[in-house]
């Protein structure tokens, strides 16, 4: 079985101090076969403004690491923050060329989903259903990404005692979003960071993964969302087991935006 961490942030991201070289060294030591660096691209980010890696520096570092760690498959990726009013800027940024583009919704109407701002004044069902509807709007508006990151990111906000988002409770919202992704040739990720945020299940829950597979979904990656040394490759093996439990036979990898499928043992 080969293991790939498809969601890693090096110091080329504004919120990480993890060097690319250190991430690669740790990946080798932890038995991974590859990493994809998904550096943040986020325009009009509340409190931070426009965020984009220094491309020349990013390319230089990843080329050096490819030479230094030939045993690893290293992907040059981007995690693009989806917001309606920055879609044109996102298109220009992505057009510069990447192996893999992860699309993520961190803000809705300029309001963060991480810190309780989006949840303020909303009951749990209203908040979670509204969040999924907003993600669907963004995915329809901007489709130049390969995989949707942490589909249920809102669960990291601890505004509610019950932070579960099972398929049975949000079936209408999940079905609309999953169908949109499948019909347009895009996928989802299993994001293991949920466990680091005190959640009992990964992003998303098994019931959502099973439904995605039932609907015909095939493209799926697994990533740790690492920003720190300790998080590189964290729970990737368990994530792959979860993907298998959902009925998948293959994990997806990308090179120059083209998917390939690696058999799950």
At 265 the pLDDT is 81
pLDDT over 70 percentage in the chain: 100
SS3 letters across the chain: CCCEEEEECCCCCCCCCCCHHHHHHHHHHCCCCEEEEEEEEEEEECCCEEECCCHHHHHHHHHHHHHHCCCCEEEEEEEEECCHHHHHHHHHHHCCCCCEEEEECCEECCEECCCCCCCCCCCHHHHHHHHHHHHHHHHHHCCCCCEECCCCHHHHCCCCCCCCCCCCCCHHHHHHHHHHHHHCCCEEEEEHHHHHHCCCCCECCHHHHHHHHHCCCCCEEEECCECCHHHCCCCHHHHHHHHHHCCCCEEEEEECCEEEEEECC
pLDDT for residue 168 is more than 90: yes
* Average pLDDT for 105-109: 94
At 188 the pLDDT is 98
At 45 the pLDDT is 86
pLDDT digits (tens, 9 = 90+) for 129-146: 999 999 999 999 999 999
* Average pLDDT for 174-182: 98
pLDDT for residue 264 is more than 90: yes
pLDDT for residue 110 is more than 90: no
pLDDT for residue 46 is more than 90: no
Segments making up each domain of the chain, as ranges: 4-263
CATH superfamily of 4-263: Metal-dependent hydrolases (3.20.20.140)
At 226 the pLDDT is 98
**How does the average pLDDT of the chain come out, rounded?**
97
pLDDT for residue 48 is more than 90: no
pLDDT for residue 57 is more than 90: yes
* Average pLDDT for 70-79: 98
pLDDT over 90 percentage in the chain: 95
At 112 the pLDDT is 92
């Amino acid at each position: 079985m080969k293991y790939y961490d498809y969601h890693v942030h090096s110091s080329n991201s504004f919120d990480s101090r993890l060097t690319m070289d250190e991430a690669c060294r740790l990946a080798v030591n932890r038995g991974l076969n590859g990493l994809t660096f998904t550096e943040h691209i986020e325009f009009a980010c509340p409190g931070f403004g426009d965020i984009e890696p220094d491309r020349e520096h990013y390319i230089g570092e990843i080329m050096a690491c490819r030479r230094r760690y030939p045993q690893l498959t290293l992907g040059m990726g981007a995690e693009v923050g989806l917001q309606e009013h920055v879609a044109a800027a996102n298109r220009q940024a992505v057009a510069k060329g990447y192996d893999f583009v992860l699309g993520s919704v961190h803000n809705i109407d300029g309001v963060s989903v991480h810190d309780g701002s989006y949840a303020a004044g909303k009951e749990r069902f209203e908040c979670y259903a509204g969040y999924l509807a907003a993600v669907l709007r963004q995915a329809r508006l901007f489709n130049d990404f390969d995989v949707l990151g942490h589909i249920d990111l809102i669960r990291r906000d601890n505004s509610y005692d019950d932070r579960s988002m099972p398929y049975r409770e949000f079936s209408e919202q999940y079905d609309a979003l999953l169908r949109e992704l499948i019909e347009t040739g895009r996928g989802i990720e299993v994001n293991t960071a949920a466990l680091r945020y005190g959640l009992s299940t990964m992003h998303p829950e098994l019931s959502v993964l099973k439904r995605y597979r039932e609907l015909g979904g095939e493209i799926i990656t697994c990533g740790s969302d690492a920003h720190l040394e300790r998080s590189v490759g964290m729970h990737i093996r368990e994530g792959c087991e979860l993907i298998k439990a959902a009925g998948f036979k293959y994990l997806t990898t990308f090179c120059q935006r083209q998917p390939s499928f690696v058999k799950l043992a």
